[in-house]
Amino acid sequence: MSEKATLNVGGKSYEFDVITGSENETCIDIQNLRKESGIITMDPGFGNTGSCYSSITYVDGAKGILKYRGYPIEEVAAKASFTETAYLILYGELPNPQELRKFSARLKEHAPLHTNLEHHFSGFPREAPPMAILSAMLNLVSCFHPEVLEVPTTGEEFDRTASLLLSKVRTISAFAYRMAAGKPINHPNPNLSYCGNFLHMMFSDPHQEYEVSPVVDRALNLFLILHADHEQNCSTSTVRVVGSSRANLFSSISAGVCALWGPLHGGANTAVMMMLEDIKNSGRPLRYYLDKAKDKNDPFKLMGFGHRVYKNFDPRALILKEQVHQVQKALNIQDNLLDVALELEEFILKDDYFISRNLYPNVDFYSGILLRAIGIPLKMYTVMFAIGRMPGWIANWKELHDHNQRISRPRQIYTGETTRSFVPLTER
């Protein structure tokens, strides 16, 4: 007999199924709680709420485990390309050579933007944030491909749309950067790899083709792989919530980009670098920043530390830290922001406030230093995260539809005024 959980409220007893996931995670299925009792649960920030069943990514925050479709992140990071990882996340299996060739060919085919779409870039002000451009342009792409507004979640049509999005996000991001920098755009080169093509569109000049170094290519692949999915985080949940109204894939993902933008989520990679710069330039001791972060009356937080799920270590941060060292050595780079970061991490790992709250470096702590080492401008850091997260967003949108999930509609506890009589304007 399956296990049950019992809730006693107001002298009545209610029974609920206890569900176990494939990695033995346990949850109480309260789907019928309100129907049976009129009671709801309260969980602001959803820290204790399972919002869906998913077979894409598994995270064990206590043990620092992350797996994509059952494959440990350490193995995927060491052995896969981003394209292969995207395929795995989207379709659930590693591609065979023929499947990977076909998938890569589709990505190449969809890399160019419609000429009319290109013109829209010039309508943005020079200082427009690239995340705003990315979100707007992703919605706009669907206007130029009306067939993608009705995307089934299986078959040829889905395959085409998923690879179109994965490919176009890279072109849009590179074009947004070129426009903001006042430089002419570089059209995609079908002879280059996914990452090589992005680097070419970012950095080639009319008279000098950017030469893609294998070290940089590998580092970029790794960065994107580590960001490819992370179960029900803020932006992925946003994609699912928007998608649950049966909004199309493009608008759902465009909303995900906006959710990612915030400094507590994907925007943290930019905020970390600004914080490290500030620490370096201020000449103040690290203790000053630690005390600020601990002060409840001060909104300052140590960016790149803490995580809703990881309460031991973030495996992605460990991989990135190692990669930063490798890339800096291979490219002969000396970055004193890395020294600041290492010193800060050392301080924090010994500090009782951070130890007692399980605050460790998260993926964003070292990702900015890696991006800086491979020449990506600061303004583009969160956009880079968005390119990486695209397979996860698409796979979650697909899964939501495959499971025919109900529209998302949480409840609330009302704390406002009870009934009042309306007073006409003349009497107020």
Catalytic positions, please? Answer: 307, 364
Taking Cα atoms as reference points, which of 310, 322, 360 lies closest to residue 63?
310
CA distances from 206 to 116, 173, 183, 211, 240 (A): 22, 19, 10, 13, 41
Taking CB under 6 A as the rule, which mask of x and - marks residues 241-270 in contact with ligand ACO? -----------------------xxx-x--
Please name the amino acid found at residue 139. N
Select 9 or 349, whichever has its Cβ closest to ligand ACO: 349
| 9-68: contacts with ligand ACO (CB under 6 A) | 45
Please name the amino acid found at residue 173. S
Neighbours of 58 (CB within 10 A): 19
SS3 of 403-418: the string is CCCCCCCCCCCCCCCC
DSSP per-residue codes, 309-325: S-SS--HHHHHHHHHHH
- Segment contacting ligand ACO by CB under 6 A, of 68-76, 181-189, 214-222, 297-305: 297-305
Which residue in the set 16, 82, 103, 305 belongs to the binding site for ligand ACO (CB under 6 A)? 305
CB of 232 to ligand ACO, least distance (A): 12
Select 54 or 269, whichever has its Cβ closest to ligand ACO: 269
* Residue 314 neighbours by CB under 8 Å, 6+ apart: 64, 307, 360, 361, 362, 363
DSSP-assigned letter for residue 380: G
Residue located via tokens 């509609």: 409
Measure the CA dihedral 249/70/111/400, to 10°. -10
CB of 386 to ligand ACO, least distance (A): 11
Taking CB under 6 A as the rule, which mask of x and - marks residues 192-231 in contact with ligand ACO? ----------------------------------------
Select 111 or 279, whichever has its Cβ closest to ligand ACO: 279
Select 256 or 266, whichever has its Cβ closest to ligand ACO: 266
DSSP per-residue codes, 104-151: HHHHHHT-SPPHHHHHHGGGS-TT--HHHHHHHHHHHHHHH-GGGGS-
Select 79 or 357, whichever has its Cβ closest to ligand ACO: 357
* Residue 126 neighbours by CB under 8 Å, 6+ apart: 179, 180, 182
Select 145 or 301, whichever has its Cβ closest to ligand ACO: 301
CB of 301 to ligand ACO, least distance (A): 4
Taking CB under 6 A as the rule, which mask of x and - marks residues 345-374 in contact with ligand ACO? ------------x-x--xxx----------
CB of 366 to ligand ACO, least distance (A): 12
CB of 363 to ligand ACO, least distance (A): 5
Which residue in the set 80, 131, 293, 383 belongs to the binding site for ligand ACO (CB under 6 A)? 293
How many residues form the binding site for ligand ACO (CB under 6 A)?
19
In the bound state, the residue with its beta carbon closest to ligand ACO is 306
Task: Give me 79's structure tokens.
Answer: 């052995």
C-alpha angle 280-202-136 in degrees, rounded to nearest 5 = 95
Taking CB under 6 A as the rule, which mask of x and - marks residues 120-139 in contact with ligand ACO? --------------------
Packing angle, helices 234-244 and 249-261, rounded to 10: 150
The reply to whether 308 sits near ligand ACO by the rule CB under 6 A is yes
CB of 309 to ligand ACO, least distance (A): 8
Strand order in the sheet with 12-20: 4-9, 12-20, 26-28
| 268-287: contacts with ligand ACO (CB under 6 A) | 268
CB of 22 to ligand ACO, least distance (A): 24
Task: Give me 221's structure tokens.
Answer: 């692949």
Can you give the binding site for ligand ACO, defined by CB under 6 A?
45, 264-266, 268, 293, 301-308, 357, 359, 362-364
